[in-house]
Structures are given as structure tokens and as C-alpha cells.
Chain A
Amino acid sequence: MANINGNNIDDLFRQASDKYPLRTDSSDWAKLSDALEKEPSLIQPSLSGKEDRRRRRLFWLFLLLLPMAGAGYLFWQSGTQRPAQRPAPTVTQTRAQNPAQTPAQASTQRPSRTASGITVPSPSVASVAPKSFTRGSDNQSTTTRGSATGRETTRGSATRQATTRGAATRGLASGDLAPDGTTSRGSTPGLTTSGTPGATVEPSADPLLAFLDVQRARTSDGVLLQVDVHRTNQTAPIDKGKTAKVTKLQPNHHSFYAGLLVAPDLSTIRFQTVKSVGTTYGVLLGYTFNAKWSLETGVYIDRKKYFTEGQYFNKEKVPPLRYVDLQKVDGICNMVELPLSLRYNLGTGNKVKWFTTAGLSTYLMSSEWYNYQYLSNGNPMTKAASYRNPSQNWFSIVNLSVGYEQKLGSIGNLRLEPYLRVPLSGIGTGSLPIMSAGLNIGITRRIW
């Protein structure tokens, strides 16, 4: 016994464990094969590089769609505004008995209303319009393009709008056209139009339009034609002593606005499967610096649901998991999100705005719940665990979005905003890079 120590015994048994003569002819592949057929692999082979690349391509394509949609809208808008930049038809007016009318009145740029009462926005419209308008016996001649005398008014935009607005041109009877191409209207006595056969002339019930002596005409396919209008027995008296002022409206862009948003939230970790949909809702606050730039913040309550393979879950904060083979993790987390973003208006229409935002978000995690699937001693097991106030991630999430805003009258603005949140660091107990995408739907309203 004196010669035996621990090391001797250990070495002896190590040798014995490898070389002891155990019978090994009991293998039964058929039985194992049958078992494998009955219970196929729980774990699918990892995604091939090709499929992985395809999934990433789709994601980036989706991401590119957002700015492309914005760019497309801008392009479309510039395309529709182009005709207005072309040399506009001029209106020459001769008003024999209108001494009080000033050039400014004559060029009361664009009408603020059309015949049917539809408001035509004209941010730089003169604020003066005649209070009364009577048509007397004065001879008045209005021609488009090239009148030798009188004042000239450039109103291409107004003309275009009038032509494209169905409501404004409704009520015209094509039968009013005279065989020689002129139109004589009972409602506007003495009004004659010379131009391309088939053209129609809209009678304008609006005194302002009449005051401008501009007649809109269009062919059956809506193309604006040059029209010579001769008026007889019409007068456009203006109150004597009144001087017209051209005042450009300067909207005050400095304002605060607030809104309520709700969004379905899709969270993924390294482009893995999205198994269920989370939610985001909260309050948005914004400050507008000017027509283009705004600063936005708010408080959102997020509930994110995500799934990950075990390899992406950092087990450092969960000691019991360190020595097991973590397979899959399903997670749900509740958090308060504090975004801080800059907003840039890509385009602004009458009632529509297209915008993009970029900024950083803070996640204040309030609770997490995880369902772990792991192998313990080769045996598949599951365990659920929840954590309170596990982590705070200050300004560690990049916020990107492109949005659309539609005016809804007195209610405010409807806001639709696809967003993407890209984490700069691991989030939560498992330090998971939770990437989120969704669609903010909400109402915003100017508050101050």
C-alpha cells in the first residue's frame, strides 16, 4: 500500500478506461435508423450562405424602398410643377372705365377661389379682391398672349389649376360652341371666344376670375388652348380710392406639435425569424424650426417579441445557462423608448407632406421574459424566466423612418411612418441586437 498514491491510481484507471476489453459487437444501426426516421432532427441545418444572403438582400431592398418612395414623390411633384415654370399665357386687359384699378389689382395673381367654390391654395396671393363687381356697358377686350396694350398678368398656375379641376370646369355645354369656333354664352353676355374648334370656355361665376378677365378653355382632352376672349358690355368697377396691396403670406413655421402614435412592431435578431408581432404606442412631441426641419421626441411604450438561436444570447448575466447548450430563446420585453430625431420634409403638397427622420433612441427596459430551450446533459429542456429592470440603453439605437402626413382638417394630421430601429449595442439580459421595424400610425396636431 505504501507505494500507491493518488496519481498512480489515476494513471492506472485512465489507461484501463481506454483499453479494457469490452465486447462492442452489439451495435444496432437499424434500430437507431428507425428512431431517426420517427423523430427527425429538431434543429434544422443552419441557413446556407445563399439563403442567408437572399434574406439580407430582401431586407436591404425593403430598406431602400423607403427613400426611393420619397425620391419618387419628389420627382413626381417636380414633374407636375414644371408646366407652371413655362412661359405662361399673358392676359392683357384694357379697362376704359376703370381708372381706379391699379396694376396690382389687375395682376391679382391667382384666384383664391374657382367657380365652384373650391379653394385654390395660393400662398403668395394678393390679399385684395374686389368687393363688388358689376358688368356694365363698357367695352372690354381681353386677349391672351400678345395684346399690345394694357396690363399683363402672368397666371399660368391658376390657369393650369383651373384646367385640371373637374369641378371648376363642370357645367359647360359643348353645344355652346359656334361653328366658327367661338362660344357665345348666355350667362356671360357678350363674351366671345375665338380659338381652336372644339374648345370650351368656362363661365366663371366668381367675380375675381371675371375681374382678371381670364377665361379658361380646354379641349375635350383637357389640353389648355390659347383663347381670345372679347368682352362687350362688361364693367369691372372697383371702389374708388381703394388701393390694392400685394401681401405675401409668410407662414409662421415655428410651432410645437404633438401626436399619438401606435405601431405594430416586428423585431428580429440578426435577421432571424419573426415569430410574433409586438406593439409600440406613445406620445410624440415636435418642434418645427422652419418649413423643412423639425425636432421630434416623445415617450413610447414598447412591447417587443423576438426569437433567437442560442448562440446569439449572451449568457454572462444568466449564470445557470453558462454550462448548458442553449438552443433557442423566445423573448418578450417591455420598455420605455425615448426617441430624439430630426425630421426633414422632403415635399409638401396642399394637404400632404412627405418626410424622413433620423435620430437616436433610448431604451429603458422595464421587464423581460424569456423562454429558454436548451440541452442539459444532452437532454432537451425548457425554462422560463423573467427579469425586472434589467438594463438601460441610452441613445444606443439608430432611428430611421420615412413618413407621410395627410391633413384631416380640424382633427389634425394623419401620420403614416414606416420605421427602422437599428441597435448599436446589445440590449437586455442577453445583450441581443434587437432590430425593429414597423409602421407608426397616428394623429398629430399643432399645439402652440
Chain B
Amino acid sequence: MEKLIHIIEGCAVQDRHCQQLLYDKFYGLCLKIAFRYVNTYEQAVEVVHDGYLKMFRNFSRFEVRDKDKVEMLLMGWIRRVIINAAIDYMRREINNHQTYAIPEHVWEHGDDRQLSDNSLLYKELITLVKELPPAYRVVFNLHVIEGYSHPEIAKMLGITTGTSKSNLSKARAHLQKALAAENVETILWQT
């Protein structure tokens, strides 16, 4: 905990060493968040880069008010910054409707025994999410996974609450349809 507070204080005064420590510590988390939103792995890397850039340039805004919850608060803040960076990236790529197959090299390839069955399942589920149209995908991510309400999503994306609900409904329908095709009974049994 003390080390994390030290890192935060260092980042607030633009200390490069502390910034690197923070970058390394939360890079995986950020990449996983970004990858759920954007199309490709490379785009996710770019989003994370942009997100960290904004984070470090504005780090003095992050205040440690409760030292006991500092890690949770920091993760929440980082998550928010990365999500915003991802949404911003998607806006810039709004005219790009191309779908991309996810290459195998983006997945973690450890020992096959180390990868549990659940991991394989999660990989399949994330692949399903990424196959959603961008408008549905972003609302699904924001509402189901991040926990934002529809009015919040509407404000973030500049859409109406109704559109947000509609997109979520359609996203769920897509996923249910896809899950049905993927032998849902097996999936649920595995979980």
C-alpha cells in the first residue's frame, strides 16, 4: 500500500520512474479493457498508449482521500480513463465498419494445462462480444461489464437513453443467438 501511494505521489509530480512502475503494474488491466471495445489488438495497444498519456498528463487531478481504498480508487480511475480513450478511438473509427477476425497470437499461450477450461470459455465469450457491431458492443460493455446506467451511457456517448437501452437489448439478442449456436448448455455447465 505504501509503495502504491509513493508511486501515485511520484506520478503527480511527473516522476518518470514512478510512471513506469504504474504503467507496468496496470498495463494488463488496461489492455484487457481496451480490447473489449476496439476491433483489433493493435488498436487496443494504441488506446492504452493514449489513455496512459492522458492519465500521466492529468495525474495531479487524482487525489488520495482514503488511503485504505487507494488501490480500488486508482483502478476505478484508470478504468474510466481507458474506457474514455477507447470510446474516443471508436468515434474516430466510426466509419470503419469492417469486421476483423481475431488472430490467435493475441491470446496468451501458456502451457495448455495452465489454461483452464474457463479461460477457453472466457476467450470464446470475449470473441462473441467483439463480433458485435460497435454501437451494440460499446453499450453492452458499458452497461453489463462496467456497470454504468443508461443515462450515464447516454451522456458519455451522446445518444439518448432509449437508444442505449435499445442497443443493449439488441446486443443481448445477438449474444443469446450466438451462445445458442455455441452449445450453451455446455457453456453453462462449465461455469
Complexed CA–CA distance, A9 and B179 (Å): 9
Contact B188 A43 (CB under 8 A): no
Whether, in the assembled complex, A17 has its beta carbon less than 8 Å from a beta carbon of chain B, the answer is: yes
| B159 contacts across to A, CB distance below 8 A | none
Complexed CA–CA distance, A276 and B121 (Å): 61
Question: Which B1-35 residues have a C-beta within 8 angstroms of A?
Answer: 12-14, 16, 19-20, 23-24, 27-28, 31-33, 35
Contact B14 A41 (CB under 8 A): yes
Complexed CA–CA distance, A68 and B6 (Å): 47
Count the A residues whose beta carbon is within 8 Å of the partner chain — how many?
A: 45
Closest to A23 in B: B108
Closest to B34 in A: A22
Known: A21-B119, A29-B20. A16 touches B172 (CB 8 A): no
Question: Which B39-81 residues have a C-beta within 8 angstroms of A?
Answer: 41, 45, 49-54, 56-61, 81
Known: A14-B144, A33-B20, A378-B51. A19 touches B122 (CB 8 A): yes
Contact B53 A28 (CB under 8 A): no
B interface: dominant SS: helix
Contact A20 B125 (CB under 8 A): yes
| B145 contacts across to A, CB distance below 8 A | 13-14, 17
Contact B20 A377 (CB under 8 A): no
Complexed CA–CA distance, A29 and B35 (Å): 19
Complexed CA–CA distance, A32 and B24 (Å): 12
Count the B residues whose beta carbon is within 8 Å of the partner chain — how many?
A: 67
**Binary per-residue interface labels of chain A (1-45) against chain B in the complex, 1 for a CB within 8 Å, 0 otherwise:** 101101011101111111111111011110111011001111111
Closest to A17 in B: B145
Which residue of B53, B108, B122, B152 contacts A32 across the interface (Cβ within 8 Å)? B53
A-B contact pairs, 25 of them (CB 8 A): A1-B184, A3-B188, A8-B188, A9-B172, A9-B179, A13-B125, A16-B126, A17-B126, A22-B31, A22-B108, A27-B23, A27-B24, A28-B45, A28-B49, A33-B20, A35-B49, A41-B59, A43-B61, A44-B60, A45-B12, A45-B13, A46-B60, A375-B84, A378-B50, A378-B85
Binding site for A on B (CB under 8 A): 12-14, 16, 19-20, 23-24, 27-28, 31-33, 35-36, 41, 45, 49-54, 56-61, 81, 84-85, 87-88, 91, 105-110, 115, 118-119, 121-123, 125-126, 129, 140-141, 144-145, 152, 155-156, 172, 175-176, 179-180, 184-185, 187-188, 191
